[in-house]
Structure 1
Amino acid sequence: MSKPPLLEMRGICKRFPGVVALDNVCLTVSEGEVLSLCGENGAGKSTLMKILGGVYQPEEGELLVDGKPVKIENVTDSMALGIGFIHQELNVLENLDIAANVFLGREPLVSPFKLIDRKKIHADTIPLLKRVGLDVPTHKRLGELPIAQQQMVEIAKALSLNARILIMDEPTSSLTLTETDKLLELIAGLRKQGVSIIYISHRLGEVDRCSDRVEVLRDGKNAGGLTRAEISHDSIVSKMVGREIKSVYTPSGATVTAGFLKVRNARSSRFPKQQVSFDAARGEILGFAGLVGAGRSEIVKAMCGLDEHGCAEVSLGNESLVIRKAGDAIGHGIFLVPENRREEGLVTAMSVRENITLPDLPTYASAGLIRKNRETKVANEQIAALRVKTPHAETLVRNLSGGNQQKVVIGKWLAMGPKVLILDEPTRGIDVGAKAEIYKLMRELAANGAVILMISSDMEEVLHVSDRVAVMHEGRITGVLDRGDCNEKNVMQLAVGRPVAAAKSA
């Protein structure tokens, strides 16, 4: 008799008001297997994993562990079954040390005064850190570690709970290429130790590298699985979107007005001694590349009045602008879609309608009162134009998938007619189908005369979408590459501060 799968989810159904999130979904995971779960935003991946994590309960279906039916009614039940969750947004306390984070809420106590046994938690943390390949003192404050090492601590915490199944949700979204390689090596090591991994990522190259199998969801249903031999970029995309995704780069068909946007002597609080200057044309997409921490986000925040100690001289056409705060930039038609959409781009407790109209409320007011019918009309137009998957405009933004939240952030600025649209990591955590839609939208905006600035850490995205690429290193632009010179080698050379003959000065 063959050994049953470690985990089975059979006929799982989950409904929310107006939405069938999961419809008869099945999933199996064997011991020591890396199963990648793929699908477009809104396909049901997060809902399925929240059922496994005890956050939601299904209306129909059953769960089995080691072939035996189980009930997961809360997070504690999930943890007791050996299920650990590594979230995209890490669940750590940066003010505590590593050992305190690993045993948070489960601290061993010393009698008779019920004091925390600090010596024991540090001693017990050492082998856990060794298991994940992290060589740092357990007394080190977590906030002093880079994101990649904080993530390793989160994995160590899950292993301290004797986790048999680790769910990793977009674990590399904030990691560099080197850090990503280390994480994939760790996954391979955990697999050999018998730990099962459910890996959720929109970076299909990583899925190809680490997976034993792939299961694809589409519109809340199983769209099919792929064995190790069947896994490829094209096969995953085909099952995810049910349609062909063509090459994303489209040559600009716009009338390009060179130097329409001029930024001079921009300085950020992070790199106060570095001055950055660049031009961008109407009708083009200017990509900004560089390693994490190169200062790309800081420069655009300085030019938008979002850096209290930063500054920049900005002009549009022949007009010099005075930008001291975010409202000044918005008033001139310069809009920023920030990297952290949930904290900086949205009010998640508000509806889609309210988020889309929030930056421009006077337009929707009459006699000092907001006219909801005006808001609803514009919100519905943006929902339709951007293909936002939502039951209606009154749905709370926090109930949308990450990709659809990003579309709402973009939609609120589109409703105001941008002259300059800055997109910082516009497709982070977004599926391949939604990416293609956002790229098409960027190209259409450029064709209609907008200046598009795109900051991205995704090399493929930078090379396939940009008309030109400005590369930054340690707070300065090391060179600008024309379309014909945009390749991975040139970008990486400039990103590490080395000159490239084809690069032009900013």
Structure 2
Amino acid sequence: MRGITKTFPGVRALEDVTLTVQEGEIHAICGENGAGKSTLMKVLSGVYPHHAYQGEITFAGQPCRFAGIRDSERRGIVIIHQELALAPNLSVAENIFLGNERATRGLIDWNRTHAAAADLMRRVGLAESPATQVLDLGVGKQQLVEIAKALSKKVRLLILDEPTAALNDEDSAHLLDLLRGLRDQGITCVIISHKLNEVMAVADRVTILRDGRTIATLHIADDQVTEDRIISGMVGRDLDHRFPPRTPSVGDEVLRIEDWTVHSPTQHGRVVVRGARLSVRRGEVVGLAGLMGAGRTELAMSVFGHSYGTNISGRVVKDGRVIRVRNVGEAIAHGIAYATEDRKRYGLNLIQDIARNISAAGLRKLARRGWVDDKEEYRVAEGYRSSLNIKAPSVASVAGNLSGGNQQKVVLSKWIFTDPDVLMLDEPTRGIDVGAKYEIYTIINRLADEGKAILLISSELPELLGLCDRIYTMAAGRITGEVPRAEATQEGLMALMTQEQEAAP
């Protein structure tokens, strides 16, 4: 790719970008949110047709001008987006060959379809039946279905956009091993990833983008590349410390939950949280660590106005007295807020502007005789845009057009506007680049310094160790440990997070 320039109304997303990928390598593309990574790959894969950008693409020695995705797929270029494009109510086999059916005289040959699907599933390490519905698979296995689908199209260049963003450690390791295997088979892979440890582990070379421009392409082995070197290229400066400094000033207990038990709303008889007990003090950042399925999100959501679970029992004690939080409105009224891990589905209205998103949970503060004061709404939103450094032309900008880091700042603004005493943050930096993470960390520290009680749920142990004053661990729905920051290590936390047999009833 040479001289690639792509412009959207009012924004130049790519400017004179050059990318060279060698046959049979794993090539990583790194950069902050908004650097142009996904846009560049959409150009390469034909999502943006040739008339919508400037520049040249050469593939396997031949110049290419793609009018759409089908053109690029005919050449063997296949992209797997971060938001998986599968039909959940169809089977694995149907998804693998959707739009690429195995047919004879216009009729689908189901024996041939299932046999071919089974062969592709074996190649990617998926042991399920080809007749399994995709909705019955976890995210990690759905990712494998996407790769099998790409292999069915005789892929030569496979592009993966944040392939491990929603995966646990085990599924991520399996996917990275699969990419190495595809490389050994001669398939070239391009991955976009914020997880620099995975880039270092699997990639042969890495290209760094910043502000829509190519900064450098580095050979990881020959150039002795480090994570710090990649970060420096991404953000344009050295980050000597991944976490901003903070001197804790911890006050009185604000929130305590006791003997908290929650039953699953969909699986009869399954207990997702059992007898949990934890507390958070004013000005304190408390971590909640656990593997996928441990019950962390279920715990937070059930405390937040019973927005998850059924047959909930236990006590919530706020400022020394027992309170009832039967719905989200009561939770907000009691000064409790919860920022969801899925900001796009539950945290934001993506087709609304920034101002409306920020005011959504606190409309009563803006209402005058039942009508929202638009001018005050705009003024409040502008204040948060400035104080949280939300990068957008104005608060009239649509939330869905923002980068992941800026979307997360809008989510935080929405809940800060409710003036909570307790702020539960569920995976607040998931899918966010390292520079934006630092900004989010700074906001978390600022909230704690203002006396807010923070409960931080995170799958990244270094993040918990770098931010939290205390860390609780969960396994199989139970709290299995409480560790002060000074005594916490990744190994120790992991040991507590894997005590499933001890935690089980």
Normalising by the residue count of structure 2, what TM-score does the alignment of the two structures yield?
0.93
Runs of 4+ in 1 over 6 A off after TM superposition: none
Q: Which amino acid aligns with 1:309?
A: T
Cα deviation for residue 314 of structure 1 reads 1.7
Q: Counterpart of 1:147?
A: 139
Deviations 1:114-172 (A, max 9, x none): 44211111111122112212233222222333221221111000110111111111111
Deviations 1:235-278 (A, max 9, x none): 00000001122334566534312432111222223325712111
Q: Counterpart of 2:298?
A: 298
Q: Tell me the SS of whatever aligns to 2:19.
A: strand
**Quick check: 1:247 aligned with 2:249?**
no
The 1:252/1:316 distance shift into structure 2, 3 A limit, reads: farther
Cα deviation for residue 315 of structure 1 reads 2.2
**Quick check: 1:16 aligned with 2:18?**
no
2:250 pairs with one of 231, 245, 256: 256
2:192 pairs with one of 200, 203, 208: 200
Deviations 1:279-326 (A, max 9, x none): 111111111111110000000010002025153522221233221111
**Is the deviation greater in 305-314 or in 466-475?**
305-314
The 1:216/1:50 distance shift into structure 2, 3 A limit, reads: same
Q: Counterpart of 2:383?
A: 381
Deviations 1:165-215 (A, max 9, x none): 111111112222222111111111111111111111111000001111111
2:153 pairs with one of 161, 165, 178: 161
Q: Counterpart of 1:435?
A: 437
Q: Which amino acid aligns with 1:421?
A: L
Q: Counterpart of 1:65?
A: 59
Q: Tell me the SS of whatever aligns to 2:297.
A: helix
Q: Which amino acid aligns with 2:274?
A: Q
CA distance in 2, matches of 1:392, 1:117: 54
Mapping for residues 93-108 of structure 1, pairs under 5 Å: 93-108=87-102
CA distance in 2, matches of 1:294, 1:454: 15
The 1:55/1:487 distance shift into structure 2, 3 A limit, reads: same
Q: Counterpart of 2:416?
A: 414
**Quick check: 1:137 aligned with 2:138?**
no
CA distance in 2, matches of 1:250, 1:22: 31
**Quick check: 1:493 aligned with 2:495?**
yes
**Quick check: 1:456 aligned with 2:458?**
yes
**Is the deviation greater in 331-340 or in 129-138?**
129-138
Q: Which amino acid aligns with 2:291?
A: L
Deviations 1:355-409 (A, max 9, x none): 1112222333334433332222222221222222222211211111222211111
2:263 pairs with one of 249, 259, 269: 269
Q: Tell me the SS of whatever aligns to 2:207.
A: strand
Identity %: 42
Q: Counterpart of 1:309?
A: 310
CA distance in 2, matches of 1:171, 1:397: 23
Contact 1:252 1:283 in 2 (8 A): no
CA distance in 2, matches of 1:73, 1:406: 34
Q: Tell me the SS of whatever aligns to 2:464.
A: helix
**Quick check: 1:29 aligned with 2:21?**
yes
Q: Counterpart of 1:6?
A: none
Q: Counterpart of 1:340?
A: 342
Deviations 1:463-501 (A, max 9, x none): 22211110000001001111122101111111111799x
CA distance in 1, matches of 2:159, 2:296: 31
CA distance in 1, matches of 2:500, 2:108: 51
Q: Counterpart of 1:224?
A: 216
**Quick check: 1:125 aligned with 2:117?**
yes
Deviations 1:99-125 (A, max 9, x none): 1110112223344xx442111111111
CA distance in 2, matches of 1:463, 1:280: 17
CA distance in 2, matches of 1:144, 1:240: 38
Q: Tell me the SS of whatever aligns to 1:257.
A: coil
CA distance in 1, matches of 2:33, 2:245: 27
Contact 2:273 2:298 in 1 (8 A): no
CA distance in 1, matches of 2:500, 2:68: 53
Mapping for residues 76-95 of structure 1, pairs under 5 Å: 76-95=70-89
Unaligned 5+ runs, structure 1: 1-8, 501-506
Cα deviation for residue 25 of structure 1 reads 1.1
**Is the deviation greater in 443-452 or in 384-393?**
384-393
**Is the deviation greater in 312-321 or in 227-236?**
312-321
**Is the deviation greater in 50-59 or in 222-231?**
50-59
Q: Which amino acid aligns with 1:287?
A: G
Q: Which amino acid aligns with 1:301?
A: M
Contact 1:266 1:302 in 2 (8 A): no
Q: Counterpart of 2:329?
A: 327
Task: Give the root-mean-square deviation of aligned CA atoms.
Answer: 1.9
Normalising by the residue count of structure 1, what TM-score does the alignment of the two structures yield?
0.92
Unaligned 5+ runs, structure 2: 265-270
CA distance in 2, matches of 1:272, 1:288: 15
CA distance in 2, matches of 1:415, 1:195: 49
Q: Counterpart of 1:286?
A: 286
CA distance in 1, matches of 2:254, 2:243: 23
Cα deviation for residue 439 of structure 1 reads 0.9
Q: Tell me the SS of whatever aligns to 2:414.
A: helix
CA distance in 1, matches of 2:62, 2:5: 20
Q: Which amino acid aligns with 1:376?
A: Y
Q: Counterpart of 2:231?
A: 237
Q: Which amino acid aligns with 1:123?
A: A
The 1:370/1:452 distance shift into structure 2, 3 A limit, reads: same
CA distance in 1, matches of 2:484, 2:262: 26
CA distance in 2, matches of 1:35, 1:139: 34
Mapping for residues 108-123 of structure 1, pairs under 5 Å: 108-111=102-105, 114-123=106-115
Q: Counterpart of 2:397?
A: 395
Contact 1:18 1:391 in 2 (8 A): no
